[in-house]
């Protein structure tokens, strides 16, 4: 499974996860993968559980960069795309920010409202430099 496919599969799981917050993340993952007969990858799993684990941090960062838009005010798909991509910006070290942002914009074009790609691009653009600074503080070179 390529990274783009893994990212898309993780997005579907995250969309479902945040629509059904009361359910256990592990159980929802297992059930969803079985019911959909979903191909899996380690990267898909890492993205899904990484976002679930770091959700409060990601939401805080996203809301700070989105100028007055709370996570509740965003569409569920926009929020899922931003969480997924912010996770990659802050916690993945082997992919340039421009690639992560481009992938997020493509997901927004495919699965979200017409206005979403520009919003996603703007928020992630603001987060990119903060994520680089965060990574250098957490793991100094």
Distance between CA 112 and CA 109 in Å, rounded? 6
What's the DSSP call for residue 95? S
Distance between CA 138 and CA 141 in Å, rounded? 10
Distance between CA 11 and CA 34 in Å, rounded? 16
Q: What is the pLDDT of residue 63?
A: 97
| Dihedral over Cα of 88, 93, 97, 99: its sign | negative
Per the structure block, which two tokens stand in for 53? Answer: 């684990």
Q: What is the pLDDT of residue 32?
A: 84
Contact assessment for residue 118 and residue 93, using Cβ atoms and an 8 Å cutoff: no
Per-residue pLDDT tens digits of the chain, which is 141 residues long: 899 999 999 999 999 999 988 889 999 899 888 887 878 899 999 999 999 999 999 999 999 999 889 999 999 999 999 999 999 999 998 899 999 999 999 999 999 999 999 999 999 999 999 999 999 887 655
């Amino acid at each position: 499974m390529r990274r783009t496919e893994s990212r898309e599969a993780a997005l579907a799981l995250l969309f479902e996860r945040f629509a059904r917050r009361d359910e256990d993340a592990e159980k929802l993952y297992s059930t969803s993968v079985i019911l959909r007969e979903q191909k899996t990858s380690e990267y898909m799993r890492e993205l899904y559980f990484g976002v679930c684990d770091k959700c409060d941090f990601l939401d805080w960062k996203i809301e700070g960069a989105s100028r007055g838009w709370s996570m509740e005010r965003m569409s569920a798909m926009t929020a899922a795309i931003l969480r997924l991509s912010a996770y990659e910006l802050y916690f993945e070290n082997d992919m340039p920010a421009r690639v992560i942002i481009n992938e997020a914009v493509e997901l927004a074009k495919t699965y979200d409202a017409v206005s979403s790609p520009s919003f996603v691009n703007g928020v992630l653009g603001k987060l990119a430099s903060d994520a680089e600074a965060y990574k250098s503080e957490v793991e100094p070179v």
